[in-house]
Amino acid sequence: MKMVLKFLVQNLMPYYLQKKHKPQPITLLLQGNAELPLKTEYKYLGLTVQRNGTYALHIQKVAAKCRARLNVIRLLKGTSWCAGKRPLLTIYRSLVRSVIEYGMEAYFVSSSNMLKPLVKIQNDALRLCLGAMPSTPVVCL
């Protein structure tokens, strides 16, 4: 019994990591001279890795997702019955912090400048939940 694997060329997207700033072009050819384009980033288990091995694009996507989720806290804070600190902190933990904590291993190899948007989002969320003024120092939270 002979087994044959057949791949659809449009589903194959090769990816390789390279630390150089100017990567050398690589051409991959299949049987029949079908060329495969190289991807610049790769998404694996929800983490987006760029060709140079950084997670900058992943951090940007997480920051955008968390900013959108902060609007739920703003909405609940601005109602006439106004949710208290405890329910708002629970919503913060479940909606915002869970997104930030998923794939935390990527943050260990990232620079502190890349992580500044995530820190700012966490500080803004805590200010919203605790009812602090926007000018309140982080140390006081």
Residue 1 DSSP class? -
pTM of the model: 0.75
- Among 33, 103, 89, residue whose Cα is nearest residue 61: 103
Q: Is the CB of residue 15 less than 8 Å from the CB of residue 42? A: yes
Nearest CA to 77 out of 124, 141, 139 is that of 124
pLDDT tens profile 6-41:
666 666 666 666 666 666 666 666 666 766 666 777
Sign of the Cα torsion 100, 104, 109, 112 reads positive
Which residue has tokens 């602090």?
A: 132
pLDDT lower than 50: segments of the chain = none
